[in-house]
Amino acid sequence: MENKDIRQELADVHGDELLFADGYDSAIIGVSVGHQSGRVVYSTSKMIEACMEWADSYEDAVEWLEFNTFNAYVGDNTPIYIDTELLQDSYKEDRG
């Protein structure tokens, strides 16, 4: 399994019906389980970081992702996008 990319590894475990957001493999944080399982889960902050490589500003990156990715419905296996920034900040404050 060492030479497989993340998409293949996840498909091997969770099946071939997973849907991925192209260009954001570095932002994958897992696959949902339980009700509505089998959906790839992404960190929005990591996706924004990836967009910052070409976007003119943070706001442009967020706006592009909201319009083209976060609000797109592509069927039952539409990926889940989680804002992990707030959780990370809260954890840092608690660990202070």
Model's pTM, two decimal places? 0.83
3-state secondary structure 20-62: CCCCCHHHEEEECCCCCCCCEEEEHHHHHHHHCCCCCCHHHHH
Domain presence at residue 1: no
Indicate the number of domains in the chain: 1
What is d(CA 56, CA 14) in angstroms, rounded to the nearest whole number? Answer: 36
pLDDT band at 1 (very low <50, low <70, confident <90, very high): very low
- Cα–Cα distances in angstroms (integers) from residue 21 to residues 8, 12, 55, in the given order: 14, 18, 17
Structural domain boundaries enclosing 11: 6-95
User: What's the mean pLDDT in 38-65?
Assistant: 96
Strands 40-43 and 28-31: antiparallel
**Residue 3, pLDDT above cutoff 90:** no
Domain annotation covers residue 68 = yes
Domain presence at residue 53 = yes
Q: Which residues pair with 81 in a beta bridge?
A: 42
For residue 2, is pLDDT > 70? no
